[in-house]
Amino acid sequence: MGLSLVVGPAHAGKVEHLLDRFVVALDRDPWLVVPNRADVERVERELVECCGGLLAGTVGTFDTVFAELADGDGRGKRVLGDLERLLLVRRLTDGAPPGLARFPGYADALARTLAELDGALLESDDLEEPLASLLAGFHAELDRLEAWDAAALRRRALTRLTTELEAWADAPVFVHGFEDLTGVEWHLLEALAARTEVQVSLPYEPGRAVYASLRQTVDDLARLAAGNVLELPPRSHEYLPAGLAHLERWLFTNEPERMPLDGSIRFLEGAGTRGTLELVGEDVLAAIRGGVAPEEIALVCPAVEPIRLALEAVFGTLGIPLGLEGRGNLRSTPFGHALLALLRFAWLDGERSDLYAHLRTPYSGLGRRDVDWIEGRLRGRGVARGDRTVAVTVELRDGRTLPPLDLVLAEGSPLAAVRLLVTSMLRHAHGTTSPPLDEAARVDLRAHDAVSRTIDELETLAAAGHAVGRGDVVAALERATIRRERPGAPGRVAVLDLRRARTRRFDTVYVVGLEQGALPRRPRVEPFLDDDTRRALDERRGGRLARPDV
CA distance 421 to 342: 10
Interval 115-161: pLDDT, tens = 888 888 888 888 888 888 888 989 998 888 889 998 899 999 999 99
Residue 261 lies in a domain: no
CA distance 195 to 163: 12
Q: What is the pLDDT of residue 237?
A: 86
Is 436 found in the same domain as 365?
yes
For residue 79, the cross-strand partners are: 148
173, 58 contact by CB (below 8 A): no
Residue 245 lies in a domain: no
Is 501 found in the same domain as 428?
no
287, 320 contact by CB (below 8 A): no
163 contact partners, CB below 8 Å, separation of at least 6: none
Is 355 found in the same domain as 228?
no
Residue at a domain's end among 234, 261, 290:
234
CA distance 111 to 526: 11
Residue 549 lies in a domain: no
Measured in whole angstroms, how far is the alpha carbon of residue 105 from the centre of its chain? 18
Task: Provide the domain limits for residue 11.
Answer: 2-74+155-234
The packing angle between helices 183-193 and 62-70, to 10°, is 70
Is 113 found in the same domain as 66?
no
Is 316 found in the same domain as 344?
no
Residue 264 lies in a domain: no
276 contact partners, CB below 8 Å, separation of at least 6: 268, 269, 270, 512
Indicate the helix (H) or strand (E) that contains 300. Answer: strand 297-301
Residue 22's nearest CA partner among 175, 169, 179 is: 175
- Reduced to 3 states (helix: H, G, I; strand: E, B; else coil), residue 179 is coil
366, 400 contact by CB (below 8 A): no
Is 312 found in the same domain as 360?
no
Q: What is the pLDDT of residue 547?
A: 65
CA distance 47 to 24: 12
The DSSP-derived string for 72-108 is: TTS---EEPPHHHHHHHHHHHHTTS-HHHHTSTTHHH
Is 165 found in the same domain as 137?
no
Measured in whole angstroms, how far is the alpha carbon of residue 236 from the centre of its chain? 30
Residue 244's nearest CA partner among 17, 10, 493 is: 10
- Reduced to 3 states (helix: H, G, I; strand: E, B; else coil), residue 509 is strand
Domain CATH for 17: 3.40.50.300
Residue 512's nearest CA partner among 322, 289, 245, 290 is: 322
CA distance 388 to 369: 21
143 contact partners, CB below 8 Å, separation of at least 6: none
Is 219 found in the same domain as 360?
no
Residue 265 lies in a domain: no
Strand-strand pairing, 508-511 and 297-301: parallel
The DSSP-derived string for 36-71 is: SHHHHHHHHHHHHHHHS--SS-EEE-HHHHHHHHHT
Is 11 found in the same domain as 65?
yes
Interval 489-543: pLDDT, tens = 889 999 988 888 887 889 999 999 877 666 656 667 777 888 788 888 877 777 7
Residue 477 lies in a domain: no
- Reduced to 3 states (helix: H, G, I; strand: E, B; else coil), residue 5 is strand
- Kindly give the parts of the chain with pLDDT less than 70: 95-104, 516-523, 547-550
Is 339 found in the same domain as 414?
yes
195 contact partners, CB below 8 Å, separation of at least 6: 1, 161, 168, 170
Is 498 found in the same domain as 445?
no
Half-sphere exposure of 237 (CA within 13 A, CB side): 5
CA distance 367 to 360: 8
The phi, psi pair for 7, rounded to 5°, reads -130, 160
Count how many domains the chain has.
4
Kindly compute the dihedral angle of the four CA atoms of residues 168, 174, 179, 182, in this order, to the nearest 10 degrees: 0
310 contact partners, CB below 8 Å, separation of at least 6: 273, 274, 277
Residue 241 lies in a domain: no
Q: What is the pLDDT of residue 124?
A: 86
Q: What is the pLDDT of residue 517?
A: 65
Residue 125 lies in a domain: yes
Is 189 found in the same domain as 67?
yes
pTM of the predicted model as reported, rounded to 2 decimal places: 0.83
